[in-house]
Amino acid sequence: MFGFFRKNKQSHVVTGNLSCLGVDMHSHLLPGIDDGSPDVETSIRLIRGMMQNGYRKFITTPHVYPDLYPNTKETILKAHALLNEHLKEAQLDVEIVPAAEYFIDEQFVDLIDQRDQLLPIHQNWILVEISFLAPPQEFSQVLFKLFTEGYQPVLAHPERYSYYHHRKEKYHQLKDQGCLLQVNLLSLLGYYGKNVQEIARYLVKEQLVDLIGSDLHHDRHLEAMAHPSLWAEVNRIMKSGSILNPTL
């Protein structure tokens, strides 16, 4: 049906779904520990749906946000073990990696100091998010601290922080500082609104995007993802060769 998407004239293989990404590195699929999947059954249903969209590996990133979701390495590993146990029972052969999405605040600075408490998404890469309301004070200092402690910060969904929409130079500054940028898949589709979509496309055009994450929380995200125009756009973006998901 979507034969058009399968191959183009260059060597890049174009797929009729999201298998060109293969690895998702931002999701809330671990059961019952944040505002994502509430239970194991939901997690398994969402994972099956993601696999039907072409994903084969999931780096799950529950929120670590002390005021709302006071997760620790321990709570995350426990939820991961529980999910893995049920995936095995369901005979679903899929790799799930436990990591986290850290909210930048004072308590995160303390966590950086307790070295072995951070869960990276890959090697030394730490996924961080910031407030949607206002830029965090001392953001640059926190990034600098991560670098000096040997970590590679990855900023989650930079296109969703509206206070940067009219300060586009900020995105270039973050890249120049060495931060990796992760755009949300559904931002490209306009799921979070027109402005967010425009900024996501700007970041792609300026080649500032390193990673694309689903940031999947629930069924509505999954339903929105099954969209051929989104698949085509992702396949186009992948041709740039700068998106790192398949290497994770």
Instruction: Catalog residues that contact Fe ion under the rule CB under 5 A.
Output: 101, 215
Task: Name the minimum Å distance from CB 194 to Fe ion.
Answer: 21
Task: Name the minimum Å distance from CB 10 to Fe ion.
Answer: 33
Task: Name the minimum Å distance from CB 64 to Fe ion.
Answer: 11
218 neighbors 186 (Cβ within 8 angstroms): no
The torsion region of residue 13 among left (phi > 0), alpha (psi -120 to 50) and beta comes to beta
Query: For residues 68 and 71, what is the distance between their CA atoms, to the nearest angstrom?
Result: 9
Q: How far is CA 144 from CA 140, 175, 227, 232, in A?
A: 6, 13, 39, 37
Structure tokens at 81: 């073990």
Residue nearest to Fe ion (CB): 215
Q: Give which of 175, 133, 138, 135 is closest to 154, Cα–Cα.
A: 175
Closer Cβ to Fe ion, 101 or 210, answer by number: 101
Task: Name the minimum Å distance from CB 71 to Fe ion.
Answer: 12
Closer Cβ to Fe ion, 128 or 142, answer by number: 128
Neighbours of 16 (CB within 10 A): 17
Closer Cβ to Fe ion, 175 or 221, answer by number: 221
Closer Cβ to Fe ion, 210 or 215, answer by number: 215
